[in-house]
A and B are shown apart, each in its own frame.
Chain A
Amino acid sequence: MSEITREEVQHLAGLARIALTDDEVTSLTTELSQIVDAIATVREVAGDDIPATSHPVPMANVLREDVVGETLTHEQAFAGAPSHDGERFRVSAILGEEQ
């Protein structure tokens, strides 16, 4: 039985940048333990001699000519942005008071 604690879920949520509510942390703690138990079976068959596959069709160094391709205009790139000044995306402060 995998024991995933509330603190672990809170830590993972921090890494994933999701401000979970207390109720969500509670339900995810239970669900994640169950799911991890179910999927941990992959360890049973993964011997040291078996290579890992990350991609169904192996390909390497897919490159194109180093020339200017199709690009978006500023207007297109900003069209869906929550906030911008016409040249840059606008965000709130990077550093908080205590930093």
Chain B
Amino acid sequence: MAQAPTDLTRLAGYELAGLLAAGEVSSVEATQAHLDRIAAVDGEIHAFLHVNDGALEQAKTIDERRASGERLHDLAGAPVAIKDVLCTIGMPSTSGSRILEGWVPPYDATVVARLKAAGLVALGKTNMDEFAMGSSTEHSAYGPTRNPWDTERIPGGSGGGSAAAVAAFEAPFALGSDTGGSIRQPAAVTGTVGVKPTYGGVSRYGAIALASSLDQVGPVTRTVLDSALIHDVIGGHDPHDSTSLKREWPSFTAAAREGAASGSLAGLKVGVVKELDSEGIAADVQARFQETVQVLTDAGAEVVEVSCPSFEYSVAAYYLILPAEASSNLARFDSVRFGLRVEQQGQTVEDVMAASREAGFGPEVKRRIILGTYALSAGYYDAYYGSAQKVRTLIQRDFDAAFEQVDLLISPAAPTTAFKIGEKIDDPLAMYVNDITTIPANLAGIPGMGLPMGLGDDGLPVGLQLLAPMFEDARLYRAGATIEALLADRWGGILTTQAPALRDAAPSGSSATTAGGAA
């Protein structure tokens, strides 16, 4: 659809940053445009849990610094949305949970501090499944986020708020966190781009922990280059995170620019994971995937099938390891130092803790804490948690063997297009298998990207997943940007330009929906 070129919210992040750096647009103008967009559509989308009332003031400061001739970062003045799992000074950080309602942290997550230091302006905090446990954002204690492509449908999860915010043009950049697919799966169902970096590539300091050996913070955007720009800002060693990797990373921005310019995948060996191209994948997703494989082949890539036999056990291993780690991590919500306290006269501190956790945690969080407590309890530990850790070794070995044959692995990023809100909420197991394509990367620690590969039969976005070997994040950006450019040529622009218009200022709680699919 035709959009006036003056609408700053329709620009890609790198385009907006270019105008800011050139002084053609002020940060106040860019920030105001996005705040206006949030005011217009977020009543219906509910991507944000909190909007930063200091955003314009921060934008003004950036404009003044730029006017005074100070040399600023390339992204200075650009607005960014931050997933509520990340601690932010001056903004509540709830992780989507009632137990942290209104909690304002005394420190910034390292990734937030790095964005601030680069001069990006935080628009607010985005909605998520409670403590990042979920694949639909329906488990948020503050109500679901709606998919901008069809507001009766889920935007994926747990980072549905960040994905919906960029898909609905409420922000050009956002941050997410990915424990089992929470960046890549929302990208798939909202037609956007998201990257889970190599484990340890981005600091977890100040990210409210779900499963510490799986969690990784990453970018959420509409284009591959925009993700690279954010990754370059937030990545790198952080002494505050003992699992942070001490290594020099190449410029992901340069990799994305090279990839976009090359137009060719000649010399690239790509593996299709047989086990992720199975009967569990919907027919329309499979069809788009086959077409994409053809696009890759036409661009010179050599595509072969590889087998990762242990992937069959990845969901099972994940739903032992994650609850085990989560049940330990969430023990910190004890009603003593922060968060909700529910208390009656004469109760012991143990009673108060149990009552506070009963009142503060939602059903999915309780389910996983109890499951994790079970998996770690005496008599079951070896059979369940111990076995799951062995499966983790087998999955790493599968990836090692696959990457001896190919440079990159591809699969659908999610097994279906966005399902309807409410459709799977009462069936935990049906919800859990949504992450079948994304979980293996977290178990192995390797980097992955979700990016659009077209529309399904219902006119809803379908996502492609790219996986690279450990530390080879740059390979994702180079190939991802080439694939994005090839597909955009076929579509006449990136996929989000086809998203249906949203009604302005729809009343909150309205069940009205936009016209199903894209034009």
Chain A interfacial positions (CB closer than 8 Å to B) = 4, 8-9, 12-21, 24, 28, 31-32, 34-36, 38-47, 50-57, 59, 62, 64, 72, 76-77, 79-83, 89, 91-96
Chain B CB within 10 Å, residue with most, of A17, A38, A52, A95: A17
Interface on chain B toward A: helix, strand, loop, or mixed SS?
helix
- CB distance B106 to A46 under 8 Å? no
- CB distance B386 to A52 under 8 Å? yes
Q: Which among A45, A59, A82 is the interface contact of B339 at CB below 8 angstroms?
A: A82
A20 to B106, CA, bound (A): 32
Chain B CB within 10 Å, residue with most, of A21, A51, A57: A57
Chain A CB within 10 Å, residue with most, of B245, B351, B363, B387: B387
A42 to B470, CA, bound (A): 24
Knowing A39-B316, A92-B347, the reply to whether A54 touches B390 (Cβ < 8 A) is no
Smallest beta-carbon distance A48→chain B, Å = 9
- CB distance A52 to B392 under 8 Å? yes
Q: List 27 A-B contacts (CB under 8 A).
A: A12-B377, A14-B354, A15-B373, A18-B361, A18-B369, A18-B370, A21-B358, A31-B428, A32-B374, A34-B429, A35-B367, A38-B432, A41-B313, A42-B320, A42-B384, A45-B310, A50-B394, A52-B386, A55-B243, A56-B444, A59-B242, A77-B337, A80-B105, A80-B337, A91-B349, A92-B351, A93-B348
- CB distance A82 to B199 under 8 Å? no
A53 to B386, CA, bound (A): 9
Does B445 have its Cβ within 8 Å of any Cβ on chain A? yes
Does B355 have its Cβ within 8 Å of any Cβ on chain A? yes
Point out the residues of chain A lying under 8 angstroms from B491, CB to CB. none
Question: What 9 A-B pairs come out closest when comparing CB atoms?
Answer: A56-B445, A52-B389, A46-B387, A82-B341, A76-B106, A80-B338, A46-B390, A19-B354, A19-B358
- CB distance B352 to A57 under 8 Å? no
Q: Which among A13, A38, A76 is the interface contact of B370 at CB below 8 angstroms?
A: A13
- CB distance A79 to B355 under 8 Å? no
A9 to B351, CA, bound (A): 18
- CB distance B358 to A46 under 8 Å? no
- CB distance A9 to B445 under 8 Å? no
A50 to B389, CA, bound (A): 9
Point out the residues of chain B lying under 8 angstroms from A81, CB to CB. 336-338
Point out the residues of chain A lying under 8 angstroms from B386, CB to CB. 46, 52
A28 to B371, CA, bound (A): 9
- CB distance A18 to B354 under 8 Å? yes
| 0/1 interface trace, chain B 271-306, chain A, CB 8 Å (1 if under) | 000000000000000000000000000000000000
- CB distance B373 to A82 under 8 Å? no
- CB distance A80 to B245 under 8 Å? no
Point out the residues of chain A lying under 8 angstroms from B336, CB to CB. 81-82, 89, 91
Point out the residues of chain B lying under 8 angstroms from A47, CB to CB. 390
Chain B interfacial positions (CB closer than 8 Å to A) = 103-107, 199-200, 213, 239, 242-243, 245, 310, 313, 315-317, 319-320, 327, 331, 334-341, 343, 347-355, 357-358, 361, 363, 366-367, 369-371, 373-374, 377, 383-384, 386-394, 396, 428-429, 432, 443-446, 470
Point out the residues of chain B lying under 8 angstroms from A56, CB to CB. 199-200, 213, 396, 443-446, 470
Interface on chain A toward B: helix, strand, loop, or mixed SS?
loop
A14 to B370, CA, bound (A): 10
11 further interface pairs, Cβ-Cβ under 8 Å (given A12-B377, A24-B366): A17-B334, A17-B357, A20-B366, A35-B319, A39-B319, A45-B310, A50-B393, A54-B389, A56-B446, A80-B104, A80-B105
Point out the residues of chain A lying under 8 angstroms from B317, CB to CB. 39, 42
A18 to B470, CA, bound (A): 39
A62 to B239, CA, bound (A): 10
A94 to B351, CA, bound (A): 10
Point out the residues of chain B lying under 8 angstroms from A14, CB to CB. 354
Q: Which among B327, B334, B388 is the interface contact of A42 at CB below 8 angstroms?
A: B388
Smallest beta-carbon distance A93→chain B, Å = 5
- Write the chain A residue with the least CB distance to B319: A39
Point out the residues of chain B lying under 8 angstroms from A64, CB to CB. 239
Smallest beta-carbon distance A88→chain B, Å = 10
A28 to B386, CA, bound (A): 23
Knowing A42-B387, A46-B390, the reply to whether A18 touches B358 (Cβ < 8 A) is yes
A77 to B428, CA, bound (A): 37
Point out the residues of chain A lying under 8 angstroms from B353, CB to CB. 17
- Write the chain B residue with the least CB distance to A25: B370
Knowing A38-B429, A46-B387, A52-B386, the reply to whether A57 touches B354 (Cβ < 8 A) is no
Point out the residues of chain A lying under 8 angstroms from B361, CB to CB. 18
- CB distance B343 to A92 under 8 Å? yes
Point out the residues of chain B lying under 8 angstroms from A51, CB to CB. 390, 393
Point out the residues of chain B lying under 8 angstroms from A42, CB to CB. 313, 316-317, 320, 384, 387-388, 390-391
A43 to B382, CA, bound (A): 9
- CB distance A91 to B352 under 8 Å? yes
Knowing A83-B341, A92-B343, A93-B348, the reply to whether A77 touches B390 (Cβ < 8 A) is no
- CB distance A40 to B366 under 8 Å? no
- CB distance B389 to A53 under 8 Å? yes
Q: Which among B339, B349, B355, B432 is the interface contact of A19 at CB below 8 angstroms?
A: B355
- CB distance A35 to B470 under 8 Å? no
Q: Which among B242, B331, B350, B396 is the interface contact of A53 at CB below 8 angstroms?
A: B396
Smallest beta-carbon distance A38→chain B, Å = 6
A12 to B428, CA, bound (A): 19
- Write the chain A residue with the least CB distance to B397: A50
- CB distance A41 to B393 under 8 Å? no
Smallest beta-carbon distance A31→chain B, Å = 6
- CB distance A45 to B104 under 8 Å? no
A89 to B339, CA, bound (A): 13
